[in-house]
Amino acid sequence: MAAVEIEFDGNVAIVTINRPEAKNAINRAAAEGIAAAVDEVERRKDVAVAILTGAGNTFCAGMDLKAFLAGEQVRIEGRGFGGLCQAKLIKPMIAAVEGYALAGGFELALACDLIVASEAAKFGLPEVKRGLVANAGGLVRLPKQLPRRIATAMILTGDLVTSAYLEKYGLINSLTPAGGALAEAKKIAHVIAANGPMAIAAARKVLEDSQDWAVSDMFEKQNLITLPVFKSNDAREGATAFAQKRSPVWSGT
């Protein structure tokens, strides 16, 4: 049984961490499997969006501590924990969360562009309870995605919180009944996938990179990424399709 499986729903890829017996905790095989799946998503022109989820009604319990004690490396060079947390993605990724998203599992979700979660899902960074720290993105991403004091409390107490609590602060895009996260994530993914691929890639890159830009040069840096989109075949196709009242046929050029 593969530690990570990938399947396709039209131009949407579903990447599933497939270690339900270990609550989808990340060992070396899972990290390599996620990295390979990301490579496939980025390589394939017929894939526009990816969804990351977990088998067995659990998203991911974090690092496999048995693998850690056995000396397994669960970080991939250049990509970080789980083959994703420091990866430079081009295409959008949505986390579809059921059950627990804990420690590194939560950090995998934070590395995604959007989070869809069921009402039964729970999130947390319990590393401090085990003498560890959330260095796969929790310490640096969570304070940017939540109010600082809310993030600080989660990081320093290590306590778990509900999906409804995080939705209140805007961390979760959609809240679903238990068992409905993947279906909702697919709906959102297909809406995104219907848009121009060059426009999506440029918009995503600006969103990601601009967090570190100074106000004085943010438009200059943005234009380097976005102005080529206006000169693309896709831009002409989008305008033409609108005028002709039809769906656009994107070329990605």
4-193: CATH topology is 2-enoyl-CoA Hydratase; Chain A, domain 1 (3.90.226)
Q: 127 an active-site residue?
A: yes
Q: Catalytic residue among 107, 167, 208, 220, which? A: 107
Question: 54 by DSSP, 3-state: which?
Answer: strand
Q: Does 65 have pLDDT greater than 90?
A: no
Q: Which of 110-114, 147-151, 191-195, 231-235 has the lowest mean pLDDT?
A: 231-235
pLDDT (0 to 100) of residue 211: 84
Q: How many CA atoms lie within 13 A of 90 on its CB side?
A: 14
Buried b (16+ CB within 10 A) or exposed e, 6-32: beeeebbbbbbbbbeebbbbbbbbbbb
Q: Please give the single-letter amino acid code of residue 129.
A: K
CA proximity to 158, closest of 137, 135, 132: 132
Per-residue pLDDT band for 252 (boundaries 50, 70, 90) equals confident
* Average pLDDT of the residues in 42-64: 96
pLDDT (0 to 100) of residue 237: 86
What residues are paired with 81 via a beta bridge? 75
Q: Catalytic residue among 42, 72, 98, 127, which? A: 127
Per-residue pLDDT band for 68 (boundaries 50, 70, 90) equals confident
Question: 60 by DSSP, 3-state: which?
Answer: strand
Domains of the chain, by residue range, sit at 4-193, 197-243
Q: 237 an active-site residue?
A: no
The two tokens of residue 95 are: 């986390």
CA proximity to 221, closest of 212, 229, 230: 212
From CA 239, how far away is CA 237, in angstroms rounded?
5
* Average pLDDT of the residues in 184-200: 96
Asked whether the whole model's pTM tops 0.85, one would answer yes
For 238-251, what is each residue's pLDDT tens digit?
Answer: 989 899 999 998 98
